[in-house]
Amino acid sequence: MAAVKNLFATRWGIIGVGVFIGVLATLLQKWGNPANMGICVACFDRDIAGALGLHRAEVVQYMRPEIIGFVLGSLIAAYAFREFRPRAGSAPIVRFVLGAFAMIGALVFLGCPWRALLRLAGGDGNAIFGIAGLAFGIWVGTLFLKSGYTLGRATPTYPAVGWLLPLTMLGFLALMLVFPQVPNEPKSGVLFYSVKGPGSQHAPLAVSLLVGLAVGFLAQRSRFCTMGALRDLILFRQVHLFSGMLALLVTAFVMNLLLGQFHPGFEKQPVAHTMGLWNFLGMTVAGLAFLLGGGCPGRQLFLAGEGDGDAALFVLGMIVGAGFSHNFGMASSPSGIGPYGVAAVVTGLAVCLFIGFTMRQKAA
């Protein structure tokens, strides 16, 4: 039975993966990644956009090997367990747009759901507003699901379609090796690097890549998804994925206590601001976009690794969205929301609601 053979998809399997991510994310912080940002898919996609010069925010430019590892680790798992299924064609442009606005919303809060958990586990009380907003956005999305929201079917396609994002990631890795970081230089070959700020803080390349590969492998097997965790809880009262998310939070909290990385409070938290309403609403936009797109940013990377070309487009949308976010002053900084942060949230909500209302197969 296909359902029985996968140990990682059991309750203890998903909890184990949550624990694994919680341990390694907090260790990555000790090994050099920014505080409360051991792993943040939104931040790291944004740093990749910076490394490529898609935005020129000097403090957030680094080709994060964790992201590369996530996609390739998932690809390896998918092949090892015969789950690589090239597929695409489920409203691709909508996936791209949702990815872009998911990123724009996440950067108002300053983090993806994974980082929201890591921020809370590190004592950052502002994360409570973000997580509440995330849950609210997902709840709104479940109403669309109940009334027939669908982006339509993906269909099987050429293996090369499924390979394009993994190959892109291999290309990014090659660029890092050809143009390695030069101390105190903002550029190496075609790649941009941060000299200061979060983009300058990173674990050694090999460590980040290995952790990324391991997390990508396990997350593909376990279907770990932070958006799905809240969605299934709200929609089906089902705690399977939620138990993995909770395991990540609790483990990261304990690890932070052990590593001396727990600093409770609201003020002066690392790479965070204290505007509760905008933390809430930024993540509302992101949560709704994740739900409409079928997965949290991490899950989109893992899906892309197992051949889902639509998820790959969501990922590319996130990277491009990060470019817009910083170029247009929509991203927040530790001093608060950007000059166009409010406009970003309003536009993001409008776009997500438009997609939710207009893409339903039947009325409720």
Partner 1 sequence: MALVDARGLSCPQPVLLALGEMKKLGTGSLEILVDTDTSVENVTRAAESQGWNVKDVRPEGVGYRMIVEKA
Count of residues engaged in binding partner 1, rule: CB under 8 A:
32
Structure tokens at 211: 């952790």
Minimal distance, residue 87 CB to partner 1, in Å: 7
170-201 b/e (C-beta count within 10 Å ≥ 16 → b):
eebbebbeebebeeeeeebeebbbbeebbbbb
Shortest Cβ 51–partner 1 spacing (Å): 30
- CA torsion 7-9-10-11 (nearest 10°) is 140
**Among 128-136, 228-236, 249-257, 260-268, the segment contacting partner 1 (CB under 8 A):** 228-236
- The pair phi, psi for residue 156, each rounded to 5°, is -60, 145
* DSSP H/E element including 259: helix 240-259
**How large is the angle between the packed helices 126-146 and 113-121, nearest 10 degrees?**
150
Q: At residue 316, what is the residue type?
A: L
Q: Is 282 in the site for partner 1 (CB under 8 A)?
A: no
Asked if 165 touches partner 1 (CB under 8 A), the answer is no
Residue 2 or 206: the one with the smaller Cβ distance to partner 1 is 2
Name the minimum Å distance from CB 246 to partner 1.
17
Q: Tell me, residue by residue from 56 to 85, as one string, x for binding to partner 1 by CB under 8 A and - for no binding.
A: -------------------------x-x-x
Which listed residue (97, 134, 151, 191) binds partner 1 by CB under 8 A?
A: 151
Residues 15 and 36: their CA atoms lie apart, in Å, by: 21
Closest CA to 227 of 314, 112, 79, 364: 112
x/- binding map, residues 290-319, to partner 1, per CB under 8 A?
----xx--------------x---------
- CB-wise, 33 or 74, nearer to partner 1? 74
Give yes or no for residue 153 binding partner 1 (CB under 8 A): yes
Measured CA distances, 320 to 78, 228, 284 (Å) = 27, 24, 20
Closest listed residue to residue 212, CA positions, set 166, 175, 246: 166
Which x/- pattern over 15-54 shows residues binding partner 1 (rule: CB under 8 A)? Answer: ----------------------------------------
x-or-dash pattern for partner 1, window 233-262, by CB under 8 A? --xx-x-x----------------------
Maximum CA extent, the chain? 59
Residues that bind partner 1 (CB under 8 A): 1-3, 6, 9, 81, 83, 85, 87, 89-90, 145-146, 150-156, 223, 225, 228, 231-232, 235-236, 238, 240, 294-295, 310
